[in-house]
Structure 1
Amino acid sequence: MIRTHAIPDAFSPAECERLLAVVAEAPANDARLVGRQTDHNQRRASLVWVEDLDEVDWVMDRIVTLVAEANRTVFDFSLTEFAESAQVASYDADVGGHFDWHSDIGDGRLAGRRKLTMVVQLSDPASYEGGMLEIMPSGHVIAASNARGAAVLFPSYLLHRVTPITRGQRQSLTIWAHGPAFR
């Protein structure tokens, strides 16, 4: 059975604020211009890579702990590394922020090596409307918690999306755990 795994308090509200304060000082990249993605209707967001930030080693330490525990107790995938930086995505109502249905399986040299996706809600849910992370295992849609600091982990091959944001800004932290390609 395909599962998702929720961690209600993966990061505290204070830790979310601490990370967002550092992100606010960093230059952001338009997600439509990252990699091979050119469909401007697929995704509207800006990205900041955590590896480019100062004083956030604690974020990766937390990610490693959370992913290892979830993989051990829920998924049991063969994981070997985090081959990509974690990213903080910002979805803004002013520009129609969203990310349509997609999977994170990857392309190019990473094709099939992304095994687990973890998304952590950084924004206070009262600060925006819309922008729900929805995951579609087995033909039905599950809405991830939008509680500040909540994390959801799921196999990277599952379809998921961020619905259009209609007010404010939604920010989230995403990382992919890698391993040998699925067979």
Structure 2
Amino acid sequence: MLSVYAFPEAFSPAECDAIVTLAREEELSDAGLVKNRSDHNLRRADLAWLDERAGGDWIMERIMRLVAEANRTHFDFALTEFGESPQVARYGAEREGHFTWHSDIGEGALASRRKLTMVVQLSDPAEYKGGALELQPDANIRESDRAKGSAVLFPSFVLHRVTPVTSGERFSLSTWVHGPAFR
């Protein structure tokens, strides 16, 4: 699949647990949309922004190395910065956590310049039901790997969603890489 790059073992299971622990050090906030809008019909999740947590520098260093490798060998996009903090999302069954079909390019100074999106699976798939990350890079819908520590990198214009979590909770780490507008 040309428009999606998979990392089977981007983070170890122990590193995934450390990221979730770091995210939970403070209360998670209700997930919104671009420009501080909120619509629980579109997105129902809790968030932690890792730049607001001490001790997470190693996470961004790993992400930058992985993205550089994949961009060099696979995408060859003009990238300039990681302008937004990595985000840990918790999708819980108690409120059917989900995120409907969307792309990550949106309004706003940063969201309009998103070029690549990376999503890391932090939870063991046995710990929840539902919560599939589905991508639609073309006419077909593909489910992302659910293995703990796996990651997927894709152009931010690709449609994707997280199906409702029906049991347990799913944690993921998302980040975006920015650059000049596509043309």
When normalised by structure 2's length, the TM-score is: 0.96
8 Å contact from structure 2 (residues 78, 180) kept in 1: yes
Paired residues for 1:104-123 under 5 Å:
104-123=104-123
Amino acid at match of 2:82: F
8 Å contact from structure 1 (residues 115, 176) kept in 2: yes
Amino acid at match of 1:110: L
> Cα deviations across residues 1-48 of structure 1 (Å, max 9, x unaligned)?
851010000000010011111111122110137734332200000010
* TM-aligned CA deviation for residue 111 of structure 1: 4.5
Partner of 2:87: 87
Partner of 2:13: 13
> Which piece of structure 1 moves more, 13-22 or 147-156?
13-22
Partner of 2:175: 175
Q: Tell me, which stretches of 5 or more residues in structure 1 are unaligned?
A: none
8 Å contact from structure 1 (residues 50, 85) kept in 2: yes
Secondary structure, counterpart of 2:109 in structure 1: helix
Amino acid at match of 1:97: G
Partner of 2:165: 165
Secondary structure, counterpart of 1:72 in structure 2: helix
Describe the shift of the 1:176–1:72 C-alpha distance in structure 2 as closer, same or farther (beyond 3 A): same
When normalised by structure 1's length, the TM-score is: 0.96
> Cα deviations across residues 33-74 of structure 1 (Å, max 9, x unaligned)?
773433220000001001011111100000000010010111
Paired residues for 1:62-101 under 5 Å:
62-101=62-101
Amino acid at match of 1:40: H
> Which piece of structure 1 moves more, 127-136 or 18-27?
18-27
Distance 1:71 1:26 in 2: 33
8 Å contact from structure 1 (residues 128, 165) kept in 2: yes
Describe the shift of the 1:182–1:112 C-alpha distance in structure 2 as closer, same or farther (beyond 3 A): farther
Amino acid at match of 2:149: G
8 Å contact from structure 1 (residues 120, 174) kept in 2: yes
Partner of 1:151: 151
Distance 2:46 2:115 in 1: 24
Secondary structure, counterpart of 2:126 in structure 1: helix
Q: Tell me, which stretches of 5 or more residues in structure 2 are unaligned?
A: none
Amino acid at match of 1:178: H
Partner of 2:140: 140
Distance 1:180 1:115 in 2: 8
Distance 2:2 2:13 in 1: 30
> Which piece of structure 1 moves more, 7-16 or 109-118?
109-118
